[in-house]
Amino acid sequence: MVNRGPIIHVRNLVKKFDDFVANDNLSFDVNPGEIFGFLGANGAGKTTAIRILCGLSKPTSGEIKVAGFDAYNQVDSIKRNIGYMSQKFSLYEDLTVYENIRFYGGIYGIKYQEIKTLAEELIEKLGLTKYRNTLIESLPLGWKQKLAFSVAIFHKPKIVFLDEPTSGVDPITRRQFWEMIYEAAHNGITVFVTTHYMDEAEYCDRVSIMVDGRIEALDTPAELVRIYQTENINNVFIKIARNPDRMTVEK
C-alpha cells in the first residue's frame, strides 16, 4: 500500500558544528512526486541539510524521515531508496558510458541480466548508442550531466537529490535536462533539487529559501511572487536574502 504521507518529513532539524549552528530548527515536508526546489545563498546551510537527508551526516537533533526511514538509525535503508547527483562529480571519467551504468546498477542491487537490458534501453533513449564504449571524459558536459541524472534514477529510487545539476550547461541542454526531471516526477520519483538559476526555481512545484540556517520562505513559486510583491523568484530571493529581519509574511 503506498503511503500517501510526505516522502520527506523534517521537524525541528538542528545541526551544530561545535558552537556554530548550520541548520537552525528546520521544518518542512516534501510530497511524493513533487519537484521541490531548495534554494539559498552559499553558506546558508543547504548542503548541510542535504547531506543529512542523504544519510551522509547525522543531525544534532530533530525528527527526520526520508522515504519512511529514520535518518538516525536507518541510514542504509535511506541510501537504498535514493539517488544523488552532484555538480562536483557523478560519473567516473575513466570508465565508459556502459561501464558506469553497469556499475551503479549493480551497486543498487539490480541483477546482471536486467542491468544489461535496461542499460541498452537507456543508452538508446539518450541517443548515446555511438558512445556506448566511450570514456566519460570524452563526452561534452551537457551529455555528461544528462547521463549522470539518468544513472542517478536508474534504480528507480523514491527520491533523487540533485545538487546544482545544471551548472555550466548551455540553455538548450538545460531545457532538455528539465524535461527529464519532469518525466521522472511524472513517473513518481520525488525530485529534490538545489540550483542557482532562479528561472529554474520557477519550474518547481514548491520552493524553499534558506537564509543563515533557517528556512525563511516555503511555498509555490507563484505564491511567493505574490506574497513578496515582486516580478519573479529572483527578486523574491534578493528581498529575503538581503533583509532576513524583515520577515513578516502573512498569508
Partner 1 sequence: MRTILHLLQKEFLQIFRNRMMLPIIFIMPLLQLIILVNAATMEMKNLNIFIVDQDLSVTSRLLVDRFSASPFFRISNWSTSLDEADETMERGKTDIILNIPGNFERDLVQENRAEVQLLVNAINGTVAGIGYSYAASIIGGFNREIITKWYQLPKNVVTLQSISAKPSFWYNPELNYKVFMVPAVLAILITVIGIFLSGLNIVREKELGTIEQINVTPIRKYQFIFGKLVPFLIIGLVELGFGLTIGKILFNIPINGSLFVLFTTASIYLITILGIGLLISTLASTLQQSIFISYFLIMVFMMMSGLFTSVETMPNWAQTINIINPIAYFMKLVRTILLKGSGFRDIYQDIAALVIYGITILSLATWRYRKTV
Residue 46: its H or E element: helix 46-53
- Minimum CB separation from partner 1 for residue 45, in Å? 18
Out of 64, 82, 193, 236, name the contact with partner 1 by CB under 8 A: 82
The yes or no reply on residue 54 touching partner 1 (CB under 8 A) is yes
In angstroms and rounded to an integer, the radius of gyration of the C-alpha atoms of the chain is 19
Binding residues among 86-105 for partner 1 as defined by CB under 8 A: 86, 88-90, 92, 94-95, 99, 102-104
Nearer to partner 1, 100 or 208 (CB): 100
- Minimum CB separation from partner 1 for residue 122, in Å? 17
Out of 56, 222, 238, 249, name the contact with partner 1 by CB under 8 A: 56
Place of cell 546498477: 105
Place of cell 541539510: 49
Nearer to partner 1, 108 or 228 (CB): 108
Asked if 145 and 70 touch (Cβ cutoff 8 Å), the reply is no
Out of 28, 72, 108, 197, name the contact with partner 1 by CB under 8 A: 108
- Minimum CB separation from partner 1 for residue 162, in Å? 12
Q: How many CB atoms lie within 10 A of CB 29?
A: 16
All three cell numbers of 98, joined, read: 556502459
- Longest pairwise C-alpha distance within the chain: 58
- Minimum CB separation from partner 1 for residue 200, in Å? 22
| Helix residue spans in the chain (DSSP H) | 46-53, 75-80, 97-107, 112-125, 141-152, 171-186, 198-201, 221-227, 233-242
DSSP conformational letter for 136: G
| Helix residue spans in 108-228 (DSSP H) | 112-125, 141-152, 171-186, 198-201, 221-227
* From 28-36, 74-82, 176-184, 199-207, span contacting partner 1 (CB under 8 A): 74-82
Binding residues among 195-224 for partner 1 as defined by CB under 8 A: none
Contacts with partner 1, residue ranges (CB under 8 A): 54-56, 76, 79-80, 82, 84, 86, 88-90, 92, 94-95, 99, 102-104, 106-109, 135, 161
